[in-house]
Amino acid sequence: MMIYAICSIFLLMWASWIDFKTFILPNWITLPLIISGLLFNVLIDKNFCPPIDSLLGIVIGYGLIRIVDYVYFQVKKQRGIGQGDAKLLAAIGAILGWQAIFPILFLASILGLMFGLVMMKIQHLRFQTPIPFGPFLSVFAILFILAKVIY
């Protein structure tokens, strides 16, 4: 379990770095995280996260972000969040289960909002200036993974 947790944390950090620099969460990181999260919970450690919770985590994690993006697109006629964020949240759901999706999404949104407001003040950014969301999702996913490993 420890090796998988370390690998997952490393990949989440790497994906966040890439997203922070390029606004892209690459499929070559997010898709293997989804698959490995599900396989780990199905084949190796069912106590880390029950397999059905892992599967539901993929569906809910991906679906939630896609629904938010769909509604935003209907209102603003532009994309507000990338598919990489949806795949990253699906990966987080695969690793930690569907129950972790909502608190991670909530906490990441609060942290992202605070970061955006600080950056608006410091760098005089406009409200419409995009900021990557993946790093905020990853911060709380990593904390949740560490909590599972420690406790």
pLDDT one digit per residue (tens) for the chain, 151 residues: 899 999 999 999 999 999 999 999 999 999 999 999 999 999 999 889 999 999 999 999 999 999 999 999 999 998 888 899 999 999 999 999 999 999 999 999 999 999 999 999 898 878 778 899 999 999 999 999 999 999 8
Q: What span, in angstroms and rounded, lies between the C-alpha atoms of 123 and 8?
A: 33
* pTM higher than the cut 0.85: yes
Contacts of 63 (CB under 8 A, 6+ apart): none
Contacts of 76 (CB under 8 A, 6+ apart): none
Q: What span, in angstroms and rounded, lies between the C-alpha atoms of 39 and 17?
A: 25
